[in-house]
Amino acid sequence: MKYSVAIHKEEGTVFGVSVPDVEGCFSYGDTLEEALINANKAISSHLEILAEDGVLAPESKSVDEHFNNPDYAGAIWGFVDVDTSAFLGKTEKATVTLPKLLITRIDAVVATGSAKSRSAFLAESAAKELNRHVHP
């Protein structure tokens, strides 16, 4: 999942990074590259704690949804890609019966590279839907 990050830098300071969609998640670095690497680690640490509490990784909202928030005024926006599958627990095989047209459309999305596999697509879709119901 690509999380939107707000990057702040004032003269004489380090690069500060806020992750609006992961409450309480902040990071910093002497360089922009270091700040983004540290942000990835901070997000992963937060998601690990959430998973231990049985909470799914929060969805990443678009930058547009955060742009007018005064907490991020003057920020430069970027993205940090985090593999959230590691925070869902071990995999378990499940048999699912779906209509042929739905399978064909899922396979077409997978073929574009938007998902790694049919299973990954279904898992990501389910997580999004579950987050929508838990965090309306």
- 82 and 100 belong to one structural domain: no
State the pLDDT at residue 85: 80
pLDDT tens for 100-116 read: 999 999 999 999 988 88
- The reply to whether 18 and 81 lie within a common domain is yes
Question: Number of folded domains in the chain?
Answer: 2
Same domain for 36 and 51, yes or no, is yes
Averaged pLDDT for residues 2-15: 93
Give me the mean pLDDT over the 68-93 stretch: 88
Query: Mind listing the pLDDT tens digit for each residue in 120-134?
Result: 888 888 878 887 776
Residues 25 and 2 in one domain: yes
Rounded to whole angstroms, how far apart are CA atoms 38 and 14? Answer: 12
Least trusted range by pLDDT, from 29-33, 89-93, 115-119: 89-93
136 versus 25: which is more confidently predicted? 25
Q: Are residues 110 and 66 in the same domain?
A: no
Is 79 in the same domain as 130? no
pLDDT, position 135: 53
Do residues 117 and 80 share a domain?
Answer: no
50 and 21 in a single domain? The answer is yes
Helix, strand, coil shares, percent, the chain, to 5: 45, 15, 40
Model pTM score: 0.71
Banded model confidence at residue 136, pLDDT cuts 50, 70, 90: very low
- List the domain range (segments joined by +) for residue 121: 90-136
Domain boundary among 71, 88, 105: 88
Residue 126: CA atoms inside 13 Å, Cβ hemisphere, count?
9
- Is 32 found in the same domain as 2? yes
